[in-house]
Amino acid sequence: MALGSLADHLLLDSRDNGNGNAPRAEGGAARAELGDAHARRAGRRPGLEYLHETANPPVIYRDLKSSNVLLDDALCPKLSDFGLAKLGPVGDRSPRVMGTYGYCAPEYVRAGTLTVKTDVYSFGVLLLELVTGRRAVDSTRPAAEQLLVAWAMPMLRDSKRYRELADPLLRGDFPERDLKQAVAVAAMCLQEEASARPLMSDAAMTLAYLAEAAAAASSNTTPS
């Protein structure tokens, strides 16, 4: 794809060109999300929402991560690498846990329980990467910070600390309300119990609204 993967654009070590002028990630992220909003308005369901809620039987992607989200020249996201994807039934158990460490849902790691909510958890990790600019797993960091979800969890449980999660390359230049809503979506997706996580359609709708609001704000118009 023309612009590589989402990982190429949102992770700190891949964005810094050595002179302190790392490219900004939030514009591309918003445009990528806006592409999904446009798809929804055109009657098409984006990405995981289509796999989970339109495909019959549902498709569990099982390897959602930033390096598997590819971007075209308009920054519209495309899922790639369906090698681990699995058709329903929902609630199936996988005798062998597969996927990428740091993105796998706890019930899948513990017992091999595989549902569409497994993907929702992985999406929460992906969204947390986007918000923080950190990798899901980073062995170069101090031990307490190597696993992104474990490091972020105390802040995810306290809305007053959401701002601490923001990517430092944003330099505080973002709407506080939008950050809180994005982090809240990530927190819901990362619930320990699968049943407490939202459907992908609910998460996608919230993020599409945020993307449209950001686009409207940048053009000094008010979203409907």
Which residue blocks in the chain are alpha helix, DSSP H? 7-10, 12-15, 26-41, 47-53, 106-111, 116-132, 148-156, 176-189, 200-218
By CB neighbour count within 10 A (0-12 exposed, 13-18 middle, 19+ buried), where does 127 fall? Answer: buried
Cα 210 to chain centroid, rounded: 14
Q: Is 223 in contact with 52 (CB distance < 8 Å)? A: no
Residues 6+ apart with CB under 8 A from 161: 154, 155
Query: If you ran DSSP here, which 8-state letter would residue 114 be given?
Result: E
The one catalytic residue in 36, 63, 119, 167 is 63
Q: Is 199 in contact with 53 (CB distance < 8 Å)? A: yes
Taking the C-alpha atoms of residue 165 and residue 32, their distance in angstroms, rounded to an integer, is 21
Taking the C-alpha atoms of residue 49 and residue 90, their distance in angstroms, rounded to an integer, is 15
* Residue 138 bears catalytic tag: no
By CB neighbour count within 10 A (0-12 exposed, 13-18 middle, 19+ buried), where does 17 fall? Answer: exposed
Catalogue the active-site residues: 63
